[in-house]
Structure 1
Amino acid sequence: MSEMTLPTVPEVLYEPDPEAREKTRVQDYLRWLRVQRGHDFASWDELRRWSVDSLEDFWQSVWDYFGVRAHTPPTTVLTDRHMTGARWFPGTTLNYAEHCFGQPEDADRPAVIGVSQTRDRVELTFAELAEQVRRVRAGLRRLGVTRGDRVAAYLPNMPETLVAFLATASLGAIWSACAPEFGAHSAIDRFEQIEPKVLFTVAGYTYGEKRIDKRAEVAELRAALSTAEHVVHVPYGPLTVEDTLPWTGLLADTDEPLSFEAVPFDHPLYVLFSSGTTGKPKAIMHRHGGILLEHLKNHSFHWDLGPGDRLLWFTTTAWMMWNTQVSALLVRSGIVMIDGNPLHPDLRFQWKLAAETGATFMGASPGYLMSCRKEGVRPAEEFDLSRLRQLSAAGSPFAAEGFRWVYEQFGDRVLLNVGSGGTDVCTGLVQASPLQPVYAGEMSGPSLGVDVKAFDEKGDVVVGELGELVITSPMPSMPVGFWGDEDGSRLRAAYFEDFPGVFRFGDWCRFTEAGSCAITGRSDATLNRGGVRLGTGEFYGVLEDVPLVADAVVVHLEDPQGGMGELILFVVPAPGVSVDDTVKAQLAREIRTALSPRHVPDRIVPVPAVPYSRTGKKLEVPIKKILRGATTDEVASPGVLMEPSALDAYAAYARAREENR
């Protein structure tokens, strides 16, 4: 099988400064390992290899280094290394929320800054956050919420959502959230699976300058959730939801102290949902102990967050980045919660906010960074970002030109941490760290404690060619299971059928001999023409700098007889551009030169928009299904799309295509 290969030594854009690395959290951990455990690792590669070869020692060291507060001690670290039988820290009891309020010296530090287009800015210190959680916890107890009950939130990314989540977790109840921009049908598809006892909601919100009324959707949601004994309205803008318990009712003063239900390591903390673009959303359960340990490790050793730092990353409550954002509190770092249109009033809004709030870590989508590059934004010159140490990009493939743009802007004083992970593990699988180089167009390598590789179709490890991203050893933040999947059959079918005993993640990736990694898209959207496989992300990278194209999406319709199939490129033309034969010929030349003659599209079709999920992912698979005869309603609920009508043009094209056969 022919494969396109990457250079064995990628272009290095950044090397850690020896003096600066001594001040990092991971370097402090290395010193601790040397003194407390007798491990003297000379390099990052040695540390990472130990973290997967000696899983038990590594995760015990994470537990001890961070001083995890256990109500009862574990009997061991790991009972079984088989993926589906692994049990972490059996016998222990703890609570995730107990670790989110810092130390006494953090009491007056900002824990959360809420920035919104609906109301004025809200700021809570660690002490104020703890006080609000104490009161809401007592309020939930008055409503009868106890360990194992589900609490659902139709709420935006705002401080009240954080308070409600931590109060829920402190009780051992199980949290699940859905962003209010989702339609009623999409929210019902998620929440009805878990049968919540309490529903938190807003009546509406402001997006940019547009006021959004959600009262009709809330009414549908309430009617569908027969188990919701109580609906709590959180005031947010001028609208209200009738016949609800007001948020202030939960905040009523009480002498009840803030305490934490001791739950087993595997007790569900929250339920996250898959995108719902390829079927009904999967209700993925994550555990208290697994999320606690994984995020302590990730946020400290990879993101270099600690006391006094501040994380800013635009997210909604429907994306796993919301949960990951919250966990910055675990390492005594503050967070900036943004609600509204992240591009309002313009592209510079997020950079301006990072400067105003003193962010030390900023996350952004690759699409946002590439838009800033195209528009000539110069963030380091235009704003005081002197506190910024890391800039992270995740959610979709990031072209090498984007990497270079970041280093043109910031030089070597900012680490560009490009990573990839997902809802299934609620963390990053491959990313950078303060001790690793950054390569153009590449993620620096696997995360600590994550035994990740690329497999070919036979299950053999491949380097230098595309393969399935797999995890070959257990990690604590893997799902407890899917809600309602009592025998685990759906979980096994989702992750373990293709390679028995190995967790197949569903991404298409390529590792280099240097250990770096490129994620090129979902493996179910991979292009395979005559034995040459190519990830869709590499295809889009070619078009990124073509001024004729504003956006694009590509799908491959395979030939069941084994032929070349049909490759269709849908393009959103740049303003003023008409996709005529001349433009099509130029695009074909660009693709042929950069990729291969076999990847020149059979058809280039202009469309008004590319469909994206609400987490910013291009939706190739739903388009492919539409071209195979499915309806738009069958492939994706409108509520999971960033623009609900974005699939209409593809459905129209499919109908015309069928009529012309």
Structure 2
Amino acid sequence: MPEPQPIWTPGPEAAGSRIVAFAREASTLTGQDLSAYADLQRWSATELEAFWSLVWSTFGVRSTTPVEQVLTGRELPGARWFTETTLSYVEHALRGDRDRRAVVEVDESGHEHATTIGELRAEVASVAAALRGLGVQPGDRVIGYLPNTRVSVVAFLATASLGAIWSACGQDYGPSAAADRFGQLRPTVLVSADGYTYGGTTHDRRAAVAELAAALPTLTAVLVADVVGAGHPLVAGVPVQDWGQVLAQPAELVILDVAFDHPLWVLFSSGTTGKPKGIVHGHGGILLAHLAALGLNLDLGGGDTFFWYTTTNWMMWNLNVGGLLLGAAVVLYDGSPAHPGPDALWEVVERLGVTVFGVSPGFLLAGEKAGLTPGTEHDLTALRTLGVTGSALHGSAFPWVRDHVGQRVQVVSTSGGTDVAVGFVGSAPTLPVVAGEIAAAALGVALDAFGPHGESLRDAVGELVVTAPMPSMPVFFWDDPDGSRYREAYFETYPGVWRHGDWITLTSRGTVVVHGRSDSTLNRNGVRLGSADIYDVVERFPEVRESLVIGAEMPDGSYWMPLFLVLEDGVELDDDLRGRIVEALKRDASPRHVPQEMVVVDAIPHTRTGKKLEVPVKRVLQGADPATALSLGAVDDPTLIEQFVRMGAERRAR
């Protein structure tokens, strides 16, 4: 079979990228020729101490104690990084010229506000002093119930500067869903806003803030920022402080150095299969991982403007803020990506001169279906990299970007997880791009694809595994004193090896194809199929807005594989459309990918970070009680679950 041809190849500018200089330094250090990415990646994933030491020196990481030991043990779990070393993420995020642009806030109305590093330092100092005055100590938890504005960044950095632990979610979470997460942490201070705006509608969240505060008995104070002009909530029994008044009190910035693995933040799993798990990451691990991922694989640096469309619910918010570590200006957009029009984000990219822009596959697919031509309608000459993550990227998106965004814009499809707050696979400015594939394993990641008996696979579907430690693997899970939940989550299937839960094909060329979550695997007559392969075909149809496929083992021993379709307004699922979908699946996937039936539904339920609820829907169709099959507060529209409860009951009755 002939090798697929790249849709994008590096230009001469790649020779000036940081990864080329890094490879040159690594070659000198080792006496090997590591100029080819595959060789550099292999070295980075095997010679862990040498690679991460070079990352440390390349980016000028500063610690108050000398580095004595890079890695203690290589076992998983249990390996420890840079023991006896103390540092702070915050120092590295706030270093540099005080007059350089650090954060740019943008809202749906087009209003923007830029903050310099000097101004950001001053605001962090004021908030840190206020938190210290409220009794916040190292290890205490400060939580944010916030939209994606500068308040969230300042509150996070102020918390971390004290050695306290940050956790946040957006205000689209209901108070009970937020309390499911934050209640586990027993927080001291809540930082919130009076509301947010989305799709042109202002949402007053004062009552939700008060309800959340009432559900958290350990709170000693609430700080409230004026975002929509609604005023302060009435919180019973807990003093409320005004964010603006806190910022008006100047203070000296004091940053506490902490142990390398001292908790920085707690990110939560989606909670779609039970109580959300609190995933704890450390200062040093996140610092190094984000420097490598952003500085080497994405070539982000000073002079760049970095904009990943996200909310405070998603780990991409944390990665976006990580742009500060590289000296980039970080864009915070609060609002709908499609308001006031479908090109709202492209307008921001043009106006701010964004150089690295990140979105979801769904955003690109919507633009393709809508017939947008962003490269014609907007000046996107500054844009060099379009990052895409959240789910598998449709193959059709690659030529659409080339033809309608820009021929020299590199599509960087990546896949990782909240679990490590970084990507396992991605690209580099020196790598070609093949449509439908991810270019390579990320630097520092010992990636493999395993079969059911732990055998390494090439050019075949297997489990995504990582066979060596990464600095940003969780320090621990919250409320998991013996580590049993942590081990169960990743290490039970292949002892000593991290199993992530994705189906991938690792090709003999080193590229990667992600087929979807392995815990929602489709199994037709013993053949394992990835749901992403079906979505890639079905959601190209202009009549189909979205789809969801489930493979469910039913109580009577039968196997049911329905395809749920959300159709565009005015479209009906007639024999013609049904037949064209079947033929496309047979042609572009395989006959096994054809579902047993197609069912039209009003909408598909998602997590609040936009991921389809495949596993919970499967369990509900099989008869599980929704109250135990998932955390309804983690669903973007919990009422959508009822339609699957009803269909499952009807199917089982038949």
Same-fold status (TM-score > 0.5): yes
Write out per-residue CA displacement over residues 136-195 of structure 1, whole angstroms, 9 at most, x where no aligned residue.
111111111111110000011100110110011111000000111001111011001111
**1:279 paired to 2:274:** yes
Task: Judge conservation of contact 1:454–1:466 (CA < 8 Å) in 2.
Answer: yes
Alignment correspondent of 1:83: 76
**1:520 paired to 2:511:** no
Write out per-residue CA displacement over residues 295-327 of structure 1, whole angstroms, 9 at most, x where no aligned residue.
001111111111110111111111000100001
Which of 238, 242, 251 is the aligned partner of 2:234? 242
Which of 555, 569, 572 is the aligned partner of 2:566? 572
The letter of the residue matching 2:285 is G
The letter of the residue matching 2:446 is D
Gapped regions of structure 1 (runs ≥ 5): 1-6
Question: Shift of residue 118 of structure 1?
Answer: 8.0
Quick one: distance in 1 between partners of 2:419 and 2:124?
28
SS of match in other structure, 2:452: coil
SS of match in other structure, 1:368: helix
Percent identical: 45
Which of 319, 324, 329 is the aligned partner of 2:319? 324
Query: Residues 108-257 of structure 1 correspond to what in structure 2 (within 5 A)?
Result: 108-117=99-108, 120-239=111-230, 240-243=232-235, 244-254=240-250, 256-257=251-252
Task: Judge conservation of contact 2:401–2:407 (CA < 8 Å) in 1.
Answer: no
Alignment correspondent of 1:382: 377
SS of match in other structure, 1:285: strand
Task: Judge conservation of contact 1:568–1:601 (CA < 8 Å) in 2.
Answer: yes
Change (3 A) 1:378 1:165: same
SS of match in other structure, 1:46: helix
Quick one: distance in 2 between partners of 1:63 and 1:204?
40
Quick one: distance in 1 between partners of 2:29 and 2:591?
57
Task: Judge conservation of contact 2:503–2:530 (CA < 8 Å) in 1.
Answer: yes
The letter of the residue matching 1:625 is R
SS of match in other structure, 2:249: coil
Task: Judge conservation of contact 1:10–1:514 (CA < 8 Å) in 2.
Answer: no
Gapped regions of structure 2 (runs ≥ 5): none
Which of 581, 592, 605 is the aligned partner of 1:587? 581
**1:101 paired to 2:97:** no
The letter of the residue matching 2:66 is P
Write out per-residue CA displacement over residues 339-391 of structure 1, whole angstroms, 9 at most, x where no aligned residue.
11121112100011001011000001101001111111111111111111100
Change (3 A) 1:405 1:48: same
Quick one: distance in 2 between partners of 1:569 and 1:34?
51
SS of match in other structure, 2:561: strand
Alignment correspondent of 1:62: 55
Question: Shift of residue 575 of structure 1?
Answer: 2.3
Write out per-residue CA displacement over residues 86-126 of structure 1, whole angstroms, 9 at most, x where no aligned residue.
010111000000001232xx322210011124894221011
Alignment correspondent of 1:426: 421
Task: Judge conservation of contact 1:118–1:237 (CA < 8 Å) in 2.
Answer: no
Question: Shift of residue 408 of structure 1?
Answer: 1.7
Write out per-residue CA displacement over residues 401-442 of structure 1, whole angstroms, 9 at most, x where no aligned residue.
111111223454221100000100000100011111111100
The range that moved more, 215-224 or 603-612, is: 215-224
Task: Judge conservation of contact 1:8–1:512 (CA < 8 Å) in 2.
Answer: no
Superposition misfits of 4+ residues, deviation over 4 angstroms: 34-39
Write out per-residue CA displacement over residues 55-110 of structure 1, whole angstroms, 9 at most, x where no aligned residue.
1100011111111110111221101011112010111000000001232xx32221
Quick one: distance in 2 between partners of 1:125 and 1:589?
55
Quick one: distance in 1 between partners of 2:634 and 2:553?
27
Write out per-residue CA displacement over residues 438-496 of structure 1, whole angstroms, 9 at most, x where no aligned residue.
11100001000000111111111111111110100001000001011111011001110
Quick one: distance in 1 between partners of 2:488 and 2:458?
27
State how many pairs are aligned. Answer: 649
Write out per-residue CA displacement over residues 186-231 of structure 1, whole angstroms, 9 at most, x where no aligned residue.
1011001111100011121111221212222222211110111111
Question: Shift of residue 542 of structure 1?
Answer: 1.2
Task: Judge conservation of contact 2:504–2:513 (CA < 8 Å) in 1.
Answer: yes
Task: Judge conservation of contact 1:290–1:477 (CA < 8 Å) in 2.
Answer: yes
Structure 1 length as normaliser, TM-score? 0.95
Change (3 A) 1:123 1:411: closer
Quick one: distance in 2 between partners of 1:197 and 1:148?
10
CA RMSD, Structure 1 to Structure 2 (Å) = 1.7
Quick one: distance in 2 between partners of 1:559 and 1:459?
29
Task: Judge conservation of contact 2:38–2:510 (CA < 8 Å) in 1.
Answer: no
Question: Shift of residue 34 of structure 1?
Answer: 4.6
Question: Shift of residue 236 of structure 1?
Answer: 1.0
Question: Shift of residue 585 of structure 1?
Answer: 3.3
Quick one: distance in 1 between partners of 2:5 and 2:204?
50
SS of match in other structure, 2:80: coil
Structure 2 length as normaliser, TM-score? 0.96
